[in-house]
Structure 1
Amino acid sequence: LWNTSGAGLIPIGILRTTNLCFPLFSTDIKSFTRSPAVGENFTYWCKYNQTVSNWTKFICKGEEPSICEPLASTRDPNGNKRFWMNDNKKKKNITVTVREVTVDDSGTYWCGAESTDEHQSNRFFNRLSLTVGEPCYLII
């Protein structure tokens, strides 16, 4: 299944069978765009549903979520010095903070939940398009 409304083609994971992988797609992925300035600390939130509440949450970077680069995980919240995550299971919300953003941080990020069942795919529930620019100064 492909979601072609609004945000384009949005996969939620890969279904694994014997030696084949089939992408799974969903319309419940929330997409948003942000543009912080270079050097700022940037925070955003990813809401998820009850189904994945007890799963390990993660963020990754890349255009295609099934092969995106992992950056941080609730399994090891201190594993990345610049990307920090906090999972509020009561609110079903992940808080993600990126410290001192750079132009290289521009790109597409995904919030997801890691399945512990080898027969079930990871779930992706948020897509962030980040464009980091030079800070603006008002000269008076």
Structure 2
Amino acid sequence: MLLIFTLYLISAQVGCEEDVKVTGYEGGSVIINYKYNPQKYNNHTKYFCKINERNCKNIFSQTEEKWDLKGKFFAVDEIPAGVYSVLIRNLSQEDGGNYRCGVEDQNEKPLNVELDVENGLYYGKSFSQTTHPGDVVTFSCTYPEGHENDMKSVYKVTSQSIFAIIFTYSDKENKDRYVLHVSSRDNVINMSISNVTVDDGGLYLCGVLKNKPSYVSIFSEMQLQVTAPGSSSAIIITVYVGVALLLIAGFTLIFYKLWSTKAKDASTPADRGNPVNREGAYSAYYEKIQDTQATTVYVSAQKPKTHPISPNLSGRTATSSS
């Protein structure tokens, strides 16, 4: 189906000798396809410029397309198919005007494009969605009146290609894990992807393919990110735990320093901050102890005193008076 669609794009692509009129919607996007001979111009530089009076202001010119997908302009060169695709995003009234696309060869006539940007209050919705492997993802967009008979498509954009992953002219289409539903009553395109894998992540575009002339009008974008379950939450929890441990360690160190300072101050309140006075007090204390010990030894060493007996009592016997 993808090969048939690619061949359809090439066969329906307006040749370089014709000019095209492209209709886009404010806030939406457009994809302009330029067909060239891949055998003759596979190594030639392709360019895209906006015509201003008599000059063509170059937007970009390159051989290998490696533009930022987040930018307003993005281009890829499908060399095997010979199709150079230019994506213009987030359209505004200022983007309207005349453009030129081609290869750097004087003998090759470029493709002139007239871009008309219409009011699109309900278009140009862009959102991001995060899911996990095995889940089901849905993506939808609303298209304006006048596109009932156009091909409804959902595209995926990579750094090397812009390709339709599923498309239909009818109300429903199934392709592998993709299902496309079209509500003609509500002008709504719904696409779902079942059993999502990590490789499904990327930029998706929802729109319609105009056959004559050949271009794509985009009405909505989805940036899909597929992550393993719990990977982001585990990282967040690890960060929170690390911060908590650092805070606990910091508070513990502060309390320890405060406690040690108070304990040191409380041990010698009278002599706090004066080591000289403390040494003097210790010396006086030990001298006092030594003096006391010396005095005690001296008193103990003295000979006991004796009182002499009175002479008049010597050799006499006491008698009681009559």
TM-score by length of 1: 0.74
Q: Check whether the contact 2:149–2:169 (CA below 8 A) recurs between aligned residues.
A: no
Q: Check whether the contact 1:114–1:122 (CA below 8 A) recurs between aligned residues.
A: yes
Q: Check whether the contact 2:140–2:206 (CA below 8 A) recurs between aligned residues.
A: no
Check if 1:82 corresponds to 2:177.
Answer: yes
Check if 1:20 corresponds to 2:114.
Answer: no
Question: What does residue 149 of structure 2 align with?
Answer: 54
State how many pairs are aligned.
126
Which structure would you say has the larger RCO, counting Cα contacts within 8 Å and 6 or more residues apart? Answer: 1
The Cα shift of 1:53 comes to 2.6
Deviates more, 1:10-19 or 1:31-40: 10-19
Check if 1:94 corresponds to 2:225.
Answer: no
Q: Distance in 1 between matches of 2:192 and 2:32?
A: 27
Deviates more, 1:55-64 or 1:22-31: 22-31
Question: What does residue 124 of structure 1 align with?
Answer: 218
Structure 2 residues without counterparts, runs of 5 or longer: 1-26, 35-99, 101-108, 234-322
Structure 1 residues without counterparts, runs of 5 or longer: 1-6
What is the percent sequence identity of the aligned residues? 24
Bigger CA radius of gyration: 2
CA distance 1:20–1:105, change in 2 (3 Å): same
Report runs of 4+ in structure 1 exceeding 6 Å deviation: 15-18
Check if 1:32 corresponds to 2:127.
Answer: yes
Q: Check whether the contact 1:12–1:25 (CA below 8 A) recurs between aligned residues.
A: no
Q: Distance in 2 between matches of 1:54 and 1:101?
A: 31
Q: Check whether the contact 1:11–1:25 (CA below 8 A) recurs between aligned residues.
A: no
The Cα shift of 1:21 comes to 6.1
Q: Check whether the contact 2:143–2:219 (CA below 8 A) recurs between aligned residues.
A: yes
Deviations 1:14-45 (A, max 9, x none): 17687426595867421111111110011122
Aligned-residue Cα RMSD (Å) equals 3.1
Q: Distance in 2 between matches of 1:36 and 1:51?
A: 34
Question: What does residue 3 of structure 1 align with?
Answer: none
Deviations 1:65-104 (A, max 9, x none): xx512100124712x2111100001111111110111111
Q: Distance in 2 between matches of 1:21 and 1:70?
A: 24
Q: Check whether the contact 1:60–1:111 (CA below 8 A) recurs between aligned residues.
A: yes
CA distance 1:22–1:101, change in 2 (3 Å): farther
Q: Distance in 2 between matches of 1:39 and 1:120?
A: 36
CA distance 1:56–1:37, change in 2 (3 Å): same
